[in-house]
Amino acid sequence: MEELHSETQKAEPEPSPKIIGLTGGIGSGKTTVAHFIEEFGFPVYYSDDRAKAIVNESEDLKIKIKELLGEGAYDANGLYDRKYVAEKVFTDKDLLHELNEIIHPAVKIDFENWLMKQTKYLVFKETALLFELKLNKQCYKSLLVTAEDNIRTKRVMDRDGKTYREVESIMEKQMPEKDKIKLADCLIYNNTNLEDLKEQTERVIFSIE
Ligand code: ATP
């Protein structure tokens, strides 16, 4: 009887949260949507921000990056020298690939550690290269924020003070919107104002089953 009692008391293991991959091209509004998602009470993991932070946080990563790119990859204060690294890998695709082979697994582990601490049934993972790196395959669903190219360009010019040509050259290197739209499970069209964007975000996230 005692044994039966303790059996019935055993807590069911918590189901792991469903991971929604949130993505969008430059200036699409994915960060704005991510902030709305947090306002609606769901946690967001910012992959690109975490990747930038991890290169300074992990001693293991620092050693590997210095081995690959030289001591100059970190400045006199021990901080990742983004300009040095960019110059090194800009014209060397293999080197860039090797650098990513170091950074991406570290972000994966960082995400898994973050995920273990989450208690909501849905979590969001903001990643610019979700489809390019096929990370959507590791997600329950993908959510794409998209907008017309000219609208995205204008927003980035206003936000970053970049020229039309600078934004255009970044866009040209990204996966075309039409290809991303085909791959996405859920879509948010960010062609109008922030109120509309917030409403769409609410509708989409609360309709994910
Ligand atoms: P990136 O990949 O370049 O970091 P992103 O996809 O994260 O861009 P955001 O930073 O969210 O895009 O948005 C780009 C800019 O456009 C920001 O300044 C943001 O405030 C503005 N913005 C986004 N959506 C709207 C909107 N619907 N109306 C007006 N401004 C917007």
Measure Cα distances from 202 to 41, 44, 58, 122 in Å: 11, 15, 36, 13
Residue 2 has pLDDT above 70, yes or no: no
Q: Which of 184, 187, 183, 181 is nearest to 200 (CA)?
A: 187
pLDDT in tens, 94-103: 999 999 999 9
| In the chain, domain spans | 18-43+121-209, 47-117
Q: Would you state the structure tokens that stand for residue 137, as one six-digit string?
A: 């395959």
Query: Whose Cα sits closest to atom 14 in ligand 1?
Result: 27
pLDDT of residue 33: 98
- Give strand pairing partners of 124: 20, 44
Tell how far CA 92 is from the center of its chain.
24
- What is the enclosing helix (H) or strand (E) of 204? helix 194-206
d(C-alpha 64, C-alpha 69), whole Å: 9
**Measuring from each residue's beta carbon to the nearest atom of ligand 1, which residues come in under 6 Å?**
24, 26-32, 128, 155-156, 159, 190, 193-194, 197
pLDDT of residue 91: 86
Which 3 state secondary structure label does DSSP give 191?
A: coil
pLDDT of residue 61: 94
Q: Would you state the structure tokens that stand for residue 105, as one six-digit string?
A: 């697994």
Residue 179 has a CB neighbour count (10 Å cut-off) of: 12
pLDDT of residue 140: 97
pLDDT in tens, 181-191: 999 999 999 99
Residue 14 has pLDDT above 90, yes or no: no
Q: Would you state the structure tokens that stand for residue 1, as one six-digit string?
A: 């009887």
Q: What letter would DSSP give residue 121? A: S
Residue 199 has a CB neighbour count (10 Å cut-off) of: 13
Q: Would you state the structure tokens that stand for residue 139, as one six-digit string?
A: 């997600």
> What is the architecture of the domain spanning 18-43+121-209?
3-Layer(aba) Sandwich (3.40)
Quick check: 85 and 64 in contact, CB under 8 A? Answer: no
d(C-alpha 68, C-alpha 70), whole Å: 6
Which residue positions form the known binding site? 27-32
d(C-alpha 141, C-alpha 200), whole Å: 17
pLDDT of residue 16: 84
Query: Whose Cα sits closest to atom 21 in ligand 1?
Result: 155
Mean pLDDT in residue range 14-23: 90
Residue 7 has pLDDT above 70, yes or no: no
pLDDT of residue 141: 97
Sheet of strand 18-23: strand arrangement: 44-46, 122-126, 18-23, 141-146, 186-189
Query: Whose Cα sits closest to atom 16 in ligand 1?
Result: 155
pLDDT in tens, 130-146: 999 899 999 999 999 99
d(C-alpha 29, C-alpha 190), whole Å: 7
Mean pLDDT in residue range 27-45: 98
